[in-house]
Amino acid sequence: MLRLRNVGWRAPAGAEILRDVSLDVAPGEFVAVMGRNGAGKSTLLDIVAGLRGPSEGSATLDGRPLDEWPLRERARALAHLPQMLRADLSIRAEAIVLMGRYPHAARWFESQDDAEIAREAMARCGCLEFRQRSLSTLSGGERQRVYLAACLAQQARVLLLDEPATFLDVDQQLQCFGVVRAEADRGAACLAVTHDVNLALTFCTRLIVLADRGVARDVGVAEALDDPSWLRTFSSRLDLERGPSGSWVRYR
């Protein structure tokens, strides 16, 4: 169980980015973290990942503050996909995915089991076919799938994904969110930053909307479909359309 209580975060220069954020994420949930640019989505994810300590309040996983976890143990429990990752690296895709096995065993070579776990993760993310290729020769979307596979290979209970659908084509966006949803159905707690409201409504179980340095809305998807007023937080040009086969958000 992931728990934030009254969490605030200030930049070293003094600007307040987050204030008084409290939320719980249980196993099996797939939470879309949404909000405008600069609303503090990535900061929130960084705090949950243990990359930044909260300036106020507490962030705990299983009742233990995130900064008190030994790093490897924490990395076995919690995988994080950062927003910007290096593109010009001449390391083979499979070696990148195997980096997800680092917290499990820090030997010089990964084991055969590690290799199988990595292959399975690559197959699920649709990137097994270019496992031998160097990262620098892959397209943006292909690279993103490799990094996502590395997060899956980590076999963590908490998945934190900062805009996982970046650079992905439409089909791959659906694939990606489907894979994460499957992880949630297996019992992982997943948080994904996304700007795509339709993806969020289709695959996620819960929406957290950040605005004015705090949580503006924290609703389940069914509730979000009933009362679409949360869409105003992003833009006045979004409308929820209801049809016989489901609801979707339309641009005006």
Partner 1 sequence: MLMPRISVARWIGGSALLFVLAGCLLPFVGPSRIDWGLVLQRQDPDWSILMDLRLSRTLLGLFAGGALALAGALFQSMLRDALATPYTLGVSTGASLGAVMAIALDWHTVAGVGGIWAGALCGAGVILFVVMGTATRHGQVSSSSLLLAGVAINSVCAALILLVHSFTGISQSFAISRWLIGGLDAVERPTLMLYAGVVACMSLLVVRQARQWNLLAVGEAWAATRGAHVRRALVRGYLAGSVLAAVTVALTGPIGFVGLVVPHLLRKRLGGDDRLLMPCAFLLGGVLLAGCDAIGRTILAPAEIPAGAITAFIGGPHLIWVVRRGGTR
Q: Which residues form the interface with partner 1 (CB under 8 A)? A: 12, 46, 49-51, 71-76, 78-80, 82, 84-86, 88-92, 94-96, 98-100, 102-103, 106, 108-110, 112, 114-115, 118, 134, 136-137, 154
- Dihedral sign for Cα 202, 204, 209, 213, please: negative
Query: Based on CB atoms, which residue is closest to partner 1, 85 or 249?
Result: 85
Q: What is the DSSP track for 117-129?
A: HHHHHHHHTT-GG
Pairing of strands 158-162, 246-251: unpaired
The least distance separating partner 1 from the CB of residue 63, rounded to whole angstroms, comes to 21
Residues 6+ apart with CB under 8 A from 195: 34, 163
Query: Based on CB atoms, which residue is closest to partner 1, 101 or 213?
Result: 101
The least distance separating partner 1 from the CB of residue 49, rounded to whole angstroms, comes to 5
Neighbours of 167 (CB within 10 A): 15
Query: Based on CB atoms, which residue is closest to partner 1, 162 or 224?
Result: 162
The least distance separating partner 1 from the CB of residue 246, rounded to whole angstroms, comes to 35
| Start-end of H helices in 50-169 | 71-77, 93-98, 112-124, 140-153
The least distance separating partner 1 from the CB of residue 250, rounded to whole angstroms, comes to 36
Phi and psi based region of residue 213 (left: phi greater than 0; alpha: psi -120 to 50; beta: remaining): left
The least distance separating partner 1 from the CB of residue 145, rounded to whole angstroms, comes to 15
Query: Based on CB atoms, which residue is closest to partner 1, 101 or 124?
Result: 101
